[in-house]
Structure 1
Amino acid sequence: MLPLAVTGLLALSACQFVGQDDPAGDAHRLNTMESFPLHAYLPDPSSDGGRAIGRAQWILAKKCMVRLGFPAFAVLDTKAVESTYPVRQGNLASRSTAGDDSPYGVDDPDVAAEHGYHNRSQDTEESTQPQEWPAEQYVALTGMFDSGDSHRAHGNPVPEGGCLGEATRRIYGPAPKTTKAGGLKLTGYFSLPLELWYESHKKARKDPAWKKADRAWSACMKEQGFRYPDPDEASVDTAWYRTEKPSDKEKRTASADARCKLDTDYIDTVHTIESRAQKKVIGERKQDLDAMRAANERAVGNARTIIEKA
């Protein structure tokens, strides 16, 4: 699964001397989604254009919900829901902190010694947050049906993708064909860069230099008493997911993991390989990627027009 939680770039300390090496800082800087070439083709929901699209989606969805027989939506304050995504009532579970949502996992031995692999971002200022809706409203908003759910709301057919899906098509145009990446269906308007990200990562992992980096990291871990073939195997050890808080063993393992990444220059090595693979696929699909970017710019223009008319 593609990591889609974005972490911030590391700011270099003002007290560093000019020219002083900072391998830990470099590793952290590279261990972010933003540091990859394909990231430039993914939308930024927090940008002016991203916020305009979110606002327009809810303006249109509000009208659709009234049309489907939910009169209370006529007075819905769309500003209160613009930065949210709908969740069916009763399904809003607390997010597990197990796992690490950076591309290459833990990279700070001190942080890992405290949190282990329970280092998933819990940033409260994420661009979107979940919001619960009653089942009937949730179905009408999303077009996502559970067994037994009616495909009609107050006698009116629920549009494909619900009112939010209908709104998105009004803004972007017809949805692109469904693609797959790692067994997952990608149906969004930005499925192409995600598909290319997955494919380039898969190819990069086959590079002999990547495999050599895995072996160096594994040898380092073995010296400290931990046997894993690569960092992915260490981070997804099922033992870490049995408790909400990290065990002492998990903390020791994660700290050693991060230290071995620094000692073997692991992140810099594999990031270089993966970035090269991404640049290659960008060159091969540049026309398609540029067309997608142009379509997004048109969508932003459509969204702003919808907002002005509202």
Structure 2
Amino acid sequence: MRKVLPLALTGLLALSACQFAGHDDPADEAHRLNSMESFPLHAYIPDPSSDAGRAVGKAQWILAKRCMVRLGFGGFATLNTRTVESTYPVRKGTFVGRGKVGDDSPYGVDDPDRAAEHGYHNRDQEESSQSLEWPAEQYVALTGTFDTGDSRRAHGHPIPEGGCLGQATRKIYGHPPRTTKVNGLKLSGYYSLALELWYESDKQARKDPAWKKADREWSACMKEKGFHYADPDKASFDTAWYRTGEPSGKEKRTASADARCKLDTDYIHTVHAVQAHVQKALIGKRKKDLDAMRAAEERAVGNARTIIEKEA
């Protein structure tokens, strides 16, 4: 059995020392830990909003523009790629959007005051990747995503696998890794290994006695406040919250109690310590593969910058 409880206690002791030294209070530290950036595996997942990420996005559209012209879309010859660099195509007339219910952080709500105002409708609607509508024929050529009745040719030319954007990505990154399956979901991207390990870390960590104890303590705290949930996921994914566009009074009260109990029981500190420990172990086992993935990303960024320089 993994001895992770001492690690959690060590983290809490270190946190206490910081408090006495005048550093972050428990709420601030919990909020910091409740972010993707605080995990070891985050170092292996590129940030699309970074300079390197933006360079790749720009190069993808430069190559996709050339591809679209070759496919017979003459209007793309004058396309200003700066207007589309941070976007991903959406088929015209298709409803696109994600609900407001949910949270972009690993462990859900952690601010009682914010939760009292927004409930579990806490998803950040500001996305780094924007959507832009394209006519069906152009969308299909750009993405290689076909609906029933769509032709796999454009102006007599075969549409490349993944469309012009998929072809551009392969030119920048090289051939993608093999597709893997995680919890029934196919992962085929260039960072599929990191995402696969992230899922595995979550699955392993939730089986740890320290995590289960944290769930019980959080649940007991919630019960004292009149709410009956076995763990935070059961509370945040209560189907009642999905029935309305705006949070109800009950949802706000539940979410606020949820966040307060996380702070009062040191829930986030404990489960984060467990999951970070598991991630480090998984990184150690697959470090060679992860380092190769990181090196491939660095080469791709170099390729992207070369493409941009030649276009200038």
Aligned to 2:89: 86
TM-score, reference length from structure 1? 0.92
Where do 1:42-121 residues align within 5 Å? 42-121=45-124
Aligned to 2:26: 23
After superposition, the CA RMSD in angstroms is 1.3
**What SS is found at the alignment partner of 1:86?**
strand
Aligned to 2:15: none
Aligned to 1:255: 256
Aligned to 1:138: 139
**What SS is found at the alignment partner of 1:301?**
helix
CA drift at 1:306: 1.0
Aligned to 1:271: 272
Alignment partners' CA distance in 2, 1:106 and 1:178: 33
Fraction of identical pairs, as percent: 76
Aligned to 2:233: 232
CA drift at 1:232: 0.4
Aligned to 2:7: none
Name stretches of at least 5 consecutive residues in structure 2 with no aligned partner: 1-18
Q: Deviations over 1:262-309 (max 9, x none)?
A: 010000000000000000000000000000000111111111111111
**What SS is found at the alignment partner of 1:159?**
coil
Q: Deviations over 1:107-130 (max 9, x none)?
A: 00110000000000122xx43211
Aligned to 2:202: 201
CA drift at 1:46: 1.7
Q: Deviations over 1:229-280 (max 9, x none)?
A: 0000100000000000000000000000000000100000000000000000
Compared CA separation, residues 155 and 107, structure 1 to 2 (3 A): same
Confirm or deny that 1:245 pairs with 2:215: no
Alignment partners' CA distance in 1, 2:32 and 2:302: 33
**What SS is found at the alignment partner of 2:298?**
helix
TM-score, reference length from structure 2? 0.92
**What SS is found at the alignment partner of 1:104?**
coil
Alignment partners' CA distance in 2, 1:93 and 1:305: 34
Confirm or deny that 1:37 pairs with 2:36: no
Amino acid at match of 1:77: N
Contact 1:92/1:132 (CA < 8 Å) preserved in 2?
no
CA drift at 1:19: 2.0
Compared CA separation, residues 167 and 21, structure 1 to 2 (3 A): closer
**What SS is found at the alignment partner of 2:90?**
strand
Alignment partners' CA distance in 2, 1:115 and 1:210: 27
Aligned residues: 293
Compared CA separation, residues 133 and 22, structure 1 to 2 (3 A): same
Alignment partners' CA distance in 1, 2:237 and 2:80: 42
Alignment partners' CA distance in 1, 2:81 and 2:23: 50
Name stretches of at least 5 consecutive residues in structure 1 with no aligned partner: 1-15
Aligned to 1:152: 153
Amino acid at match of 2:251: E
Alignment partners' CA distance in 1, 2:50 and 2:29: 26
Alignment partners' CA distance in 1, 2:23 and 2:76: 58
Alignment partners' CA distance in 1, 2:160 and 2:169: 12
Amino acid at match of 1:29: R
Structure 1 range deviating more: 18-27 or 288-297: 18-27
Amino acid at match of 1:106: V
